[in-house]
Amino acid sequence: MGPGSSARPGPAPRPARTALAVLLCAALLLLLLLPPPARGAGERRRLACSTCRGIVDRFNQGLADTAKKNFGGGNTAWEEKTLSKYESSEIRLVEIIENLCDSSNFECNNMVEEHEEHIEKWWFKLKKKYPDLFKWFCIETIEVCCPAGTYGPDCLACRGGSERPCHGNGHCDGDGTRGGDGSCSCNKEYTGEFCLDCSSGYFSTLRNETHSVCTACHTACKTCTGSSNKDCQDCKEGWIKDEDGACVDLDECATSPCKDHQYCLNTDGSFSCKGCDASCVGCTGEGSDKCKTCASGYVKEDEKCTDIDECNLPEKVCMKENQDCVNTSGSYKCVCSKGFEDKDGTCVQTVKPGEEVESEKTEPSHTGHDDL
């Protein structure tokens, strides 16, 4: 194509379409430029604080472990004078720093490496003035933690204030870290943004500006205004209001909800179906004395369904030759007598191993030489 024949100008884009395109581009750009989701960042900040806390804990442990140490004898007078005492020596610091992290703990080793000068500075110059290493290092210097009761990048007070976050009835999200949003996860008794309201199934026993105490309702209540089963607003499932307005146990067994081979057991607020005794066909409770009728193989004796010993009946039940009768619960078995075994339904004499003459020897002789 010659220089003259440049691309033909297309139809001029309509203004509406241009605006839309610009908007889409801007949106895309914004998505690309935005930091990763805030939750991921918050999680990292929380981790950083716990890493720092771990380092300080190990530092204090190291201090305790080296407290009794000394340079040991052998120091010349010159050394005594020139070297600082072990207590605040570099040797002691190095010993402590060496043990701050497990070798596999990447976050910890990273943090120590990055901020080693801070720790040194504190050790040599600041530890008298700022004895709380956690506060100085984690909160104020590298700013990965916040004071208790505060959260987030700027250490803002938790909901309900930093003194008693969530009014002492829950946990403040990000409490003590540079992460979280300060919102409350209330203990199960409490609800609401500030953990001052009572959850369903609890009622208020104390409530003022700063304190709230909620107590569990009676087991019969779903919701309530007080502690007894007369204070229910609604009864829990399995309970019904009686004529006095109290929630009482509903007897589900009155409607016979169980199967024929089961009996019903009513419990507080519920019921269960339990299997009848093996000696029963239908029953009203547990055991062979609660049968409606006895199962076959059982007879009623002293109000109980008892197993019949079929082997002791006047009429013999195992009639084949060389057969014995064995009584079982609810029935009996016929087995071959000792020294006899069953062969196609008759009891024949057991053949002893040595007398096995009739059977042919069919085992192939294996020489171990059958090469290919």
Ligand X SMILES: *[C@@H]1O[C@H](CO)[C@@H](O)[C@H](O)[C@H]1NC(C)=O
List interacting residues with ligand X (CB under 6 A).
Answer: 206, 208-211, 306-307, 309, 327-329
To ligand X, the closest distance from the beta carbon of 279 in angstroms equals 10
To ligand X, the closest distance from the beta carbon of 306 in angstroms equals 6
CA distance 285 to 264: 7
Instruction: For the beta carbon of residue 93, count every other beta carbon within 10 angstroms.
Output: 20
Count H helices, E strands: the chain? Answer: 7, 22
**H/E segment holding residue 263:** strand 262-267
Three-class secondary structure assignment of 169-233: CEEECCCCECCCCCCEEECCCEECCCCCEECCCEEEEEECCCCEEEEECCCCEEEECCCCCCCEE
> Distances from the Cα of 304 to the Cαs of 86, 116, 262, 284, in angstroms?
88, 84, 17, 13
| Closest CB to ligand X among residues 83, 325 | 325
| Closest CB to ligand X among residues 187, 270 | 187
| Closest CB to ligand X among residues 193, 309 | 309
| Closest CB to ligand X among residues 70, 331 | 331
Residue whose Cβ sits closest to ligand X: 309
Q: Greatest CA span in the chain, whole angstroms? A: 126
To ligand X, the closest distance from the beta carbon of 310 in angstroms equals 8
To ligand X, the closest distance from the beta carbon of 307 in angstroms equals 4
To ligand X, the closest distance from the beta carbon of 91 in angstroms equals 52
| Closest CB to ligand X among residues 82, 208 | 208
Please provide residue 198's backbone torsions phi and psi, each rounded to the nearest 5 degrees.
-90, 140
